[in-house]
A = this chain, B = another copy of it.
């Protein structure tokens, strides 16, 4: 494996840092989307040449990996893990202060997204509530940066993502799952899939897919009847409920 996380970070002396690059990449992605992120444009925003970026970063994919992991920093853990060894630059794991100042709505273009349950704070009341809180926050963070959906096909091996996955494993183990692998896997799959599907479907103009399906109502009657314009938040919660209920059932045995 060869990615940003496994390579040792080169020390920086000042001026342009990895942190600034990632920060600006995030801004660029949020404002213009993933297709408009080019090394030249990113360099321009940083008042430097594109070549310079390659001193701090090996490939463009590194930038994307770093930006993607930075998203996970916004996901607050119900009960934070004790901090451990220092981290590579540009990816300190979870700010000291809660990121409550991050606006819940930073969607550049389309309609409201993730307008419902945003990453919640500490939660008590059983493992289901904890997991639900984490998954909601996870989803909300990704939806706040819709470009992430295009990028979720790469390994989530950054410190921030790993820390949250670790927390998920711990929670499930504590809850009594002897082998939490399948459970954690299912939950991650569900969140990723739902984000991708939602972004995909609502990125086109509203009602467009509806019209598309209505024209083909003869061939796809059930689809045309129910439509694809979900109430996203409620639907997500409902499906998550199915998953959690099934897990609880298996846990009791």
Contact = CB atoms under 8 A, between A and B. Distances in A.
Given A1-B209, A5-B212, A238 B196 contact: no
Chain A binding surface SS class: helix
Chain A, interface size category, equals 35 or more
A208 interface: yes
Contacts of A12: none
Interface string A222-253: 11001000100011001101111111011000
Interface string A161-193: 011011001100100000111110110111111
A250 B249 CA distance: 13
A64 interface: no
27 contacts: A1-B211, A5-B212, A6-B212, A84-B218, A85-B219, A154-B200, A162-B216, A162-B219, A166-B219, A166-B221, A166-B222, A169-B226, A183-B239, A185-B197, A185-B230, A189-B193, A189-B194, A190-B190, A191-B193, A192-B192, A192-B193, A192-B197, A193-B193, A242-B243, A242-B247, A245-B245, A245-B250
